[in-house]
């Protein structure tokens, strides 16, 4: 059988952007290798994209969040 899913469940167990946020936190708190700032940004952008936020608005939001980072 197939080992992949088409994402047809009524609610996703875990999302791509959720994974990015969890990885960023793991880098900061557990010493996992990676770039927490980059992972955090990727999570924000993926989340905003998922709900249809315009790129220009996403860029403004990301810049503000990363300035506070």
d(CA 21, CA 10): 22
Tens of pLDDT along 25-63? 999 999 999 999 999 999 999 999 999 999 999 999 999
List the structure tokens of 25: 């936190």
Identify the residue whose tokens are 């793991």: 26
**What are 3-26's pLDDT values in tens digits?**
566 667 677 688 999 999 999 999
pLDDT of residue 2: 54
Q: Which residue has the tokens 């875990």?
A: 14
């Amino acid at each position: 059988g197939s080992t992949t899913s088409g994402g047809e469940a009524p609610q996703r167990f875990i999302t791509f952007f959720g994974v990015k946020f969890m990885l960023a936190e793991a880098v900061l708190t557990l010493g996992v290798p990676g770039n927490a700032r980059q992972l955090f940004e990727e999570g924000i952008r993926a989340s905003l994209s998922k709900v249809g936020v315009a790129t220009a608005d996403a860029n403004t939001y990301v810049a503000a969040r990363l300035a506070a980072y």
